[in-house]
């Protein structure tokens, strides 16, 4: 049996406009978790951090371990967890999903439980509450996923490197819970029909790699207008990116990151976006089509 395993997990952007809790896209920005079996029971963190971050990690990893060992029907073991962090927290880039997916994937390797990726997705979705970030973290590419009966069904599609993801990452975060509280309890028939139309068009364009068809289809009515209260620059940033050459743009997850997709002039798009929200950094990313992977050897620089 292995005593140490390292898992590399891609970040993801979710919703992609109107595909609320359903659409996701893995991008080449990563967290790496190293999980080492320990003789003592429980979970040890291999780095120091302030509260409430430590409390969040301990709660998230503890819940993941409890669910994994119960579902996999293997004996629980103590572990020490190290992290090489490349995905910022509370920026709408699936950081929590990378932690949970990486941890249960590592436990799967250490225990030799041999759960499939589909089974890991069921666990990760139960932990996350929705599959839109867990699916791309596990399968890579563009994913469409949702619960069907007792399991999560996910369809994934590779995305060409020609489609670049200009990602503006503000230096401030947004709480997912706070962003969800802003959403209405009910929607009009017109807004529901609009969301169905837009999510279908986005899915068809990305699945068939007809990326030009993404123009004009990110005008969401489900969540972005309400969440703009937390990020007043949202519409301005997207308009600036489109004017500079992007196909379209959207709030990444619940924010605070904003993402524009483009087939040309990514640097010009990045500069235009940044001018509207200077308190940020911009990364030009492409899709990760692999999902999480088990690394050979032990990566350096893990906290």
Residues 46 and 107 in one domain: yes
**Average pLDDT score over the chain:** 96
What is the full DSSP assignment across 124-183? HHHHHSSSTTHHHHHH-SEEEEEEETTEEEEEEE---TTSEEEEEEESS---HHHHHHTS
- In percent, the amount of the chain with pLDDT more than 70 equals 97
Question: Which tens digit of pLDDT belongs to each residue from 19-74?
Answer: 999 999 999 999 999 999 999 999 999 988 888 889 999 999 999 999 999 999 99
**Position 190 in a domain:** yes
What is the C-alpha to C-alpha distance for residues 252 and 179, in angstroms, rounded to an integer?
12
Q: Which residue has the tokens 């951090």?
A: 49
Q: Report how far apart the first and last C-alpha atoms of the chain are (Å, whole number).
A: 24
Confidence of residue 299 (pLDDT cuts 50, 70, 90): low
pLDDT of 289: 98
Mean pLDDT on 82-106 = 97
- For 76, other C-beta atoms within 10 Å of its C-beta total 15
What is the C-alpha to C-alpha distance for residues 200 and 236, in angstroms, rounded to an integer?
25
**Position 103 in a domain:** yes
Looking at residue 292, what DSSP letter applies? -
pLDDT of 51: 83
**Position 302 in a domain:** no
Residues 132 and 182 in one domain: no
What is the C-alpha to C-alpha distance for residues 182 and 227, in angstroms, rounded to an integer?
7
Of residues 192 and 1, more confidently modeled: 192
Q: Which region, left, alpha or beta, applies to residue 204 given φ > 0 means left and ψ of -120 to 50 means alpha?
A: alpha
DSSP strand pairing (78-84 vs 248-251): unpaired
pLDDT of 292: 98
Nearest C-alpha neighbor of 163 from the set 28, 272, 18: 28
b/e per residue 11-50 (b: at least 16 CB within 10 A): bbbbbbbbbbbbbbbbbbbbbbbbbbbeeeeebebeeeee
Contact 46, 16 (CB under 8 A): no
SS3 at position 44: strand
Nearest C-alpha neighbor of 128 from the set 184, 67, 173: 67
Question: Which tens digit of pLDDT belongs to each residue from 208-250?
Answer: 999 999 999 999 999 999 999 999 999 999 999 999 999 999 9
Confidence of residue 2 (pLDDT cuts 50, 70, 90): confident
The residues that bridge with 287 in the sheet, in sequence order, are 27
Identify the helix (H) or strand (E) that includes residue 282.
strand 280-285
Number of separate domains in the chain = 2
Q: In the numeric block, which tokens belong to residue 35? A: 């999980």
Residues 12 and 121 in one domain: yes
DSSP strand pairing (78-84 vs 43-45): parallel
Residues 122 and 168 in one domain: no
**Position 303 in a domain:** no
Residues 177 and 140 in one domain: no
Residues 142 and 242 in one domain: no
pLDDT for residue 189 is more than 60: yes
φ, ψ dihedrals at 238, nearest 5°:
-65, -45
Looking at residue 30, what DSSP letter applies? E
pLDDT for residue 266 is more than 70: yes
> What range defines the domain where residue 213 resides?
164-285
């Amino acid at each position: 049996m292995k005593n140490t395993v390292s898992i590399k997990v891609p970040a993801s952007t979710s919703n992609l406009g109107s595909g609320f809790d359903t659409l996701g896209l893995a991008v080449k920005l990563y967290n790496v978790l190293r999980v080492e079996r320990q003789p003592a029971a429980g979970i040890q963190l291999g780095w120091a951090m302030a509260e409430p971050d430590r409390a969040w990690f301990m709660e998230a990893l503890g819940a993941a371990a409890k669910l994994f060992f119960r579902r996999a029907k293997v004996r629980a073991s103590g572990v020490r967890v190290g992290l090489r962090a490349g995905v910022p927290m509370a920026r709408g880039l699936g950081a929590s999903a990378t932690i949970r997916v990486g941890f249960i994937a590592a436990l799967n390797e250490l225990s030799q439980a041999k759960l499939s990726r589909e089974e890991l997705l069921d666990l990760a979705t139960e932990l996350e509450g929705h599959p839109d970030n867990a699916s791309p973290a596990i399968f890579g590419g563009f994913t469409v996923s949702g619960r069907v009966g007792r399991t999560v069904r996910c369809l994934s599609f590779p995305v060409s490197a020609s489609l670049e993801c200009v990602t503006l990452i503000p230096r401030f975060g947004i709480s997912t819970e706070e962003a969800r509280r802003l959403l209405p309890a009910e929607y009009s028939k017109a807004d529901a029909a609009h969301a169905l139309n837009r999510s279908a068009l986005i899915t068809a364009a990305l699945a068939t790699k007809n990326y030009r068809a993404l123009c004009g289809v990110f005008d969401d009515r489900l969540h972005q207008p309400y969440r703009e209260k937390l990020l007043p620059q949202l519409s301005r940033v997207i308009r600036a990116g489109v004017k500079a050459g992007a196909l379209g743009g959207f709030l990444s997850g619940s924010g605070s990151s904003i993402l524009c997709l483009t087939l040309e002039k990514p640097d010009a798009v990045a500069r235009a976006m940044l001018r509207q929200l200077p308190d940020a950094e911009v990364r030009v990313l492409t899709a990760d089509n692999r999902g999480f992977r088990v690394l050979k050897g032990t990566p350096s620089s893990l906290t």
